[in-house]
């Protein structure tokens, strides 16, 4: 049972990951009075830029994208209600490692190849300061294999094991059935500015693996505001019927669904189907479904 106010901490690799993967969950719990702490591991310096007018910020040009994305992330945090945001090791300590087998992997500050123990120690210090009951990050494959997502998983799993105040560790995932239903809905909408994904093109997990589905229906507007804040990385579109979708620089449409999904990796799991804090409080948690 909770003996202190509920606290949720999320570890994400780059600016925009918090909004893409968990934006609705952050907004929901923040609105319910939960202290939400976001830890971002890099500035996302290697991101591909969508607006042509900002192309010179890229790592291959002025290399100023990381600083620009700091401002985007600040706006996204405000939209979601994040009350405490921190960069792992301090702003700029670790750099976006880029995708697998790119030159960015060899950068001396690349997060994925950085000092593992130092990264774990820094995260342990944050966990000990915040004392969250619930921590969220990616699964072992990082969701889609990005080296920084994999490293974020690795250091979070190691750090959580050293902080007994953390009661539950979750991995953020995408539901196969929800994504497939969302793509079908997008196929019926006129004017979609991006192409629909091919079968198997989006990273999803089978619903049998999912332990928790958080209803974000009332907080989709906040998630959309946060996604729009990350304009260098994300495009957001609304159809005439109110259907929402987004796309990254690859131009593949992805549906904005009304739940965000998680797999419980550590901790008990009796009453958590719709609330990551379910069963931890002697009274119904303010963010739970009623």
CA dist list (Å): 236 to 73, 233, 255: 16, 10, 10
Measure the CA–CA gap between 94 and 234, rounded to whole angstroms.
22
pLDDT > 80? residue 287: no
Output the pLDDT for position 198: 95
pLDDT in tens, 43-101: 999 999 999 999 999 999 999 999 999 999 999 999 999 989 999 999 999 999 999 99
CB 228 within 8 A of CB 200: no
pLDDT > 50? residue 143: yes
CB 147 within 8 A of CB 112: yes
pLDDT above 90: percentage of residues in the chain: 89
What is the per-residue DSSP string for 182-207?
Answer: HHHHHHTSTT-SSBPPPTT-S--B-G
Name the token pair of 117: 């123990």
CA-based nearest residue to 258, from 7, 28, 9: 28
Highest CATH level, class, for 7-266: alpha beta
pLDDT > 80? residue 122: yes
pTM metric for this prediction: 0.94
What is the residue extent of each domain of the chain? 7-266
Lowest mean pLDDT among 43-47, 252-256, 270-274, 286-290: 286-290
Mean per-residue pLDDT, 182-192 = 93
Tally of CB atoms within 10 A around 60: 11
pLDDT > 60? residue 252: yes
Name the token pair of 79: 């939209």
Confidence of residue 290 (pLDDT cuts 50, 70, 90): very low
Measure the CA–CA gap between 42 and 87, rounded to whole angstroms.
7
CB 170 within 8 A of CB 276: yes
Measure the CA–CA gap between 84 and 29, rounded to whole angstroms.
13
């Amino acid at each position: 049972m909770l003996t202190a106010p509920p606290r949720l901490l999320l570890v994400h690799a780059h600016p925009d990951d918090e909004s893409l993967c968990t934006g609705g969950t952050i907004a929901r719990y923040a609105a319910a009075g939960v202290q939400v702490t976001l830890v971002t591991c890099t500035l996302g310096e290697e991101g591909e830029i969508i607006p042509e007018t900002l192309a010179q910020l890229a790592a291959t040009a002025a290399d100023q994208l990381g600083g620009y994305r700091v401002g985007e992330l600040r706006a996204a945090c405000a939209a979601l209600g994040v009350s405490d945001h921190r960069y792992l090791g301090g702003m700029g300590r670790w750099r976006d490692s880029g995708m697998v087998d790119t030159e960015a992997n060899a950068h001396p500050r690349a997060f994925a190849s950085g000092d593992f123990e130092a990264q774990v120690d820094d995260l342990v210090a944050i966990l000990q300061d915040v004392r969250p009951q619930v921590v969220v990050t990616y699964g072992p494959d990082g969701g889609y294999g990005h080296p920084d997502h994999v490293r974020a998983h690795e250091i979070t799993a190691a750090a959580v094991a050293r902080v007994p105040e953390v009661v539950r560790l979750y991995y953020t995932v995408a539901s196969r059935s929800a994504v497939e239903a969302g793509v079908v809905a997008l196929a019926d909408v006129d004017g979609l500015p991006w192409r629909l994904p091919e079968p198997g093109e989006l990273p999803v997990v089978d619903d049998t693996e999912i332990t928790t589905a958080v209803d974000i229906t009332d907080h989709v507007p906040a998630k959309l505001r946060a996604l729009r804040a990350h304009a260098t990385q994300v495009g957001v579109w609304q159809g005439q019927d109110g259907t929402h979708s987004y796309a990254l620089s690859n131009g593949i449409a992805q549906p904005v669904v009304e739940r965000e999904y998680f797999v419980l990796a550590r901790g008990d799991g009796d009453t958590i189907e719709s609330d990551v804090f379910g069963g931890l409080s002697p009274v119904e948690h303010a963010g739970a479904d009623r």
